[in-house]
Amino acid sequence: MLKIITQPNPILRKKSQAVKDILAQKIQELIPRMAETMINHDGVGLAAPQIGKNIRLITVNHKDRVLAIINPKITKKSFLKEWGEEGCLSVPDKFGEVKRSKSIIIEYFDEKNNQKILKAPGLLARVIQHEIDHLDGILFIDKARKLRDINTLNA
């Protein structure tokens, strides 16, 4: 399993580079390891910067399978936005509300180097936007309101 990097590690604040060779062995080996790490930490998404790799790769747990989303670009965002609760494996024990588009359309490459278009509504849209923020060096705490620490809630 991979080690998850936590705030304030400077790697989390760097803009990630595009994956140049999706079919390279190191990328093909990294994707299932990221998926395993995400699932074992009860995450719904994981971005490569969270495991110390500044490349544009995310994994998302969706409908009992893991999507590998490589070099994603949001091509359309819904006008409608909504506040929703978020947390992050790289910002342990913190939760807050973040305003995000209710639906998005992304273009990306899958692990077989196929170009894809995905229309993502609801929670899937929120997760993908959160993970793409990681690729741009942005953490949810930068956008959150009502930020709270779960360790102090019961005190």
Pick the catalytic residue: 29, 85, 97, 131? 131
144 band by pLDDT with thresholds 50, 70 and 90: very high
131 catalytic, yes or no? yes
CATH superfamily, with its number, for domain 10-153: Peptide deformylase (3.90.45.10)
Q: Are 114 and 22 in contact (CB under 8 A)?
A: no
Q: What is the mean pLDDT of the chain?
A: 96
**Predicted pLDDT at 153:** 58
pLDDT score recorded for residue 155: 46
Structure tokens belonging to residue 51: 């495991």
Question: pLDDT tens across 27-80, in order?
Answer: 999 999 999 999 999 999 999 999 999 999 999 999 889 999 999 999 999 999
Domain segments of the chain as ranges: 10-153
